[in-house]
Amino acid sequence: MITIQNADIKATINTKGAELNSLVLLASQLEFMWQGNPNFWGKHSPVLFPIVGGLKDNTYYFNGTAYHLPRHGFAREKTFSVEQQQSDSVTFLLTHDESTLAVYPFGFAFRIRYSLLNNQLKVSYLVENPSGGTLWFSVGAHPAFKVPLVEATQYEDYLLSFNKSEDWARWPLTPEGMVEKTPVLLAEQTTDLPLTKELFYEDALVFKNYRSDSVVLHTPKSPHSLQFDFPDFPYLGIWAAKNADFVCIEPWCGIADSVDHNQDITQKEGIIQLAAKEHFERSWTVTLG
């Protein structure tokens, strides 16, 4: 475990998956992260790389060859090296090796950087293509925040309030995790999505074509809240395991296969094409209050 800290907050990250495990507001000693009860879901904040979501039959094709990857890819199960560390920041690194090339025939350097500024944590994904060919990939976040945040409140007291009013149309997922072809309207012209356990009984809420890039998790019954900012992520998932006391806010650059996808990774919706020697970077932040 690696811990970074400043005067306001403390973050603890596991080198396995470079996964954020804990995020504490020091003044109140309030923990904001789900603590991974395995009876519901044993993770905290896995990274999704080099794919987001599932593949049809866990299979994709590149140059006519079939390759197999599990849902959300392999990075979350890999041990990252610590490339740089200071008291209030740390950068983790994962690079291709024989085991990754067997299932994903691309060279890559994937960095996750955590940095603190006052009461805010910034998480950056940095992808570098060291090879001479094109790198095809997706990347996404999956942080699970504790709900309720404080005692004397319950799950249904909380809501997600976005910074833009939207027609929130979810893209349903099949039992195999593929994206259906037609969205279903969840809420019209609103900034607010009230949380209920039943909201996630049919898997994640998957959104496209929204304008919002910031959301607040809060309740009128407590002054404690968190603000989550996710600029330049074209897809968003909201999810919780059935009847579990958390909510995942998941900005994605990439999405699961659609039910009618041809499984060619170069034609996959949301796939990122990174030229030789080029770099890609996206960041999200969470501000504790």
What tens-digit pLDDT sequence spans the chain (289 residues)?
Answer: 999 999 999 999 999 999 999 999 999 999 999 998 999 999 999 999 999 999 999 999 999 999 999 999 999 999 999 999 999 999 999 999 999 999 999 999 999 999 999 999 999 999 999 998 999 999 999 999 999 999 999 999 999 999 999 999 999 999 999 999 999 999 999 999 999 999 999 999 999 999 999 999 999 999 999 999 999 999 999 999 999 999 999 999 999 999 999 999 999 999 999 999 999 999 999 999 9
Q: Which two tokens stand for residue 253?
A: 């650059």
**Which two structure tokens, joined as six digits, stand for 239?**
């999810």
**Spatial contact of 184 and 168, defined as CB atoms under 8 Å apart:** no
| Cβ pair 121, 9 in contact under 8 A | yes
The burial of 20, by beta-carbon neighbours within 10 Å (0-12 exposed, 13-18 middle, 19 or more buried), is given as buried
Residue 252 to residue 156: CA distance in whole angstroms: 26
Strand-strand pairing, 9-14 and 2-5: antiparallel
Query: What was the pLDDT predicted at 152?
Result: 93
Give me the pLDDT at residue 266, please. Answer: 97
Predicted model pTM: 0.96
pLDDT of residue 122: 98
Q: Which two tokens stand for residue 157?
A: 């007291």
